[in-house]
Amino acid sequence: MRCRTAPMPGETERIIRQKASAGEGWRQHTGQARAVLWAIVLTLCPVGVAEAVDDAFIAGYATGILEQEFRLQGASVTVTDGVLLLRARDLGGLRADQVRAALARIPGVVRIEIEMEPEGSATVPAGTVPAVGASVGEPFSRWFPRGLLFDPLHADPRWPHFSVTYRRFLDNSQFKNGAAANVGGAVSVYRGAPSARGQWEVGFQAGLFSLFDLSSSSGSNDLLNNDYTLALFYAYRGGKWSTLLRLNHQSSHIGDEFLENSGTKRVEVNYDRLDLKLSYDAWDWLRVYGGGGVLLRQSPDGLGNGTVQFGAELTSPTTYWQGRLRPVAYADVQLFGRTEWSVGHSVMAGVQFENLRLDGRAIQLLIEHYGGPFPDGQFFTQKTQWLGVGLHFYF
C-alpha cells in the first residue's frame, strides 16, 4: 500500500468548510471522522507524515483533539509556521495547562498560545502572515458536560476528591501516625450555552473522608472518623472569573473501634451550610480565591454560624522530565465560627503527572502541612498539626 500524505491539508480544509456550513449533527460526525483520519494516517504512515507535517495538518489535528477529547466548543485554531494559537471565550471548565499539554503532543507544534475572548466570539484573526485556521464546533447547552466551570480548591481538606495520604501528627498526644482515605468528586449535570458574558452550570458534589489510626494500641489501624458530604451547586464562569454557590450537608461518625478502645463518648456532628466562593485566574500559573458560608442548621447547637475561606494556587507553566512532571503548590486558609474564629491553614506542594491523565485530570503527588482546628468530625474542638504525603486525583 502506498501512503499519500500531500493531499491531506487540502482535504482537511474542505472538511472544515463543509462542517461550518452544515448542521450540528453533521459537524459532530465530520469532527469524529477527522480525528479518526489523522489517527490512521499517523499509524500507517508515520515517516511520511513526519516529513510532510505542515500548518494545515496541525490545525486539523488540534481541532480533532479539542472536539473529541475535550468537547471544547466555540473556539478557533490558527497555525503559523508551527505556532498554534487557540482563541476561545472560555475553556469549558478545563485548565489552560491541560489543553496546552494535549496540544503539545501534536507533531510539528513549535509553540502554543491561548487567548481568551470573554467579550466576543472566537474568530480566526486576520493578518499579513499567511496562516491556516480551523473552527471548533459552535457552543450549545448540554447535559453532563466535560469538566467543571469552578476548579477544585486543592488545599481545602474537605474538598471532595480521590486521595490516599499518610499523616504524621506533630503535637497530638492522642494520635501519632494516621492515614486519610478520601473518595468523591463533582459532576456537572447541565451547562447553559456560552454567551458573551460567560457560562453557568448546575451539579452536585459527594465525598467520603476517612481517617485511620496507624499507631493504635490495638494494632488494628482503628477507624477514627468518617465525614460524609453531599452538596448541590450552581457555578458560573466568565473569562478569568468563576464563582460557586453551594448548599452543603455534612455529617460525621466516629469509628466504633476507636470508641471501644478509648472510651470516648460519641457525638454526632452534622450541619447544613450555604457558601459562596469567588475565584480569579490572574495568570495561567496563579489563581486566587475567597468566600464564606453560613450554617443553616446544626447539631449539636453551638457550632458557630459561619466560615471564611481564602487561598492561592500556583501551577508551573514549565514541565520537566520531557513534559511528564509539572510543579504545583497550593495554600488554603479557613476561619471557623465553631472554634471562635481560630485559623486553620493547609499548604500543599508537589508534582502533577502530565502523562497519567484520566478524563483530562492529572494525578498529583503532594506533600502537605496542616495546622489549626481538627477538620475531622467531633475532634473539631482540638487543635492539631501534621505533615503528610499522598496521591491525589480530582474527578
Task: Enumerate the domain spans of the chain.
Answer: 8-139, 162-393
Residue 298: the pLDDT is 85
Residue 358: the pLDDT is 67
First CA to last CA distance, the chain: 43
Task: Compute the average pLDDT of residues 31-60.
Answer: 57
The rounded percent of the chain whose pLDDT value lies above 90 is 37
H/E stretch holding 259: helix 256-262
pTM of the model: 0.73
Q: Tell me which of 79-93, 165-179, 344-358, 360-374 is least confident.
A: 79-93
pLDDT at 292 over 50: yes
30 touches 13 (CB < 8 A): no
Q: Hey, which of 34-48, 66-80, 187-201 has the most confident mean pLDDT?
A: 187-201
Task: Compute the average pLDDT of residues 58-62.
Answer: 88
8 pLDDT band (50/70/90 cuts)?
very low
Residue 301: the pLDDT is 80
Q: Is the dihedral of CA 261, 262, 266, 267 positive or negative?
A: negative
The three cell numbers of residue 361 are: 485530570
Neighbours of 53 (CB within 10 A): 19
pLDDT at 212 over 50: yes
Q: Tell me which of 180-189, 214-223, 282-291, 304-313 is least confident.
A: 214-223
H-state helical runs in 45-185: 46-52, 55-64, 96-103
Residue 25: the pLDDT is 44
C-alpha span between 87 and 63 (Å, rounded): 12
pLDDT at 338 over 90: no
pLDDT at 333 over 60: yes
Residue 195: the pLDDT is 67
Task: Compute the average pLDDT of residues 329-338.
Answer: 94
Residue 34: the pLDDT is 53
Residue 359: the pLDDT is 61
C-alpha span between 87 and 122 (Å, rounded): 6
β-strand partners of 76: 87, 135
C-alpha span between 149 and 137 (Å, rounded): 19
Task: Compute the average pLDDT of residues 98-108.
Answer: 82
Residue 123: the pLDDT is 46
197-209 tens-digit pLDDT: 778 999 999 999 9
116 pLDDT band (50/70/90 cuts)?
confident
Residue 379: the pLDDT is 84
**210 or 64: whose pLDDT is higher?**
210
pLDDT at 50 over 50: no
**386 or 126: whose pLDDT is higher?**
386
C-alpha span between 190 and 72 (Å, rounded): 15
Q: Hey, which of 11-25, 63-77, 167-181 has the most confident mean pLDDT?
A: 167-181
Please choose, from the candidates 226, 243, 235, the residue with its C-alpha nearest in 3D space to the C-alpha of residue 205.
235
pLDDT at 38 over 60: no
Superfamily of the domain at 162-393? Phospholipase A1 (2.40.230.10)
C-alpha span between 219 and 280 (Å, rounded): 47
Residue 37: the pLDDT is 53
C-alpha span between 304 and 331 (Å, rounded): 24
C-alpha span between 42 and 39 (Å, rounded): 5
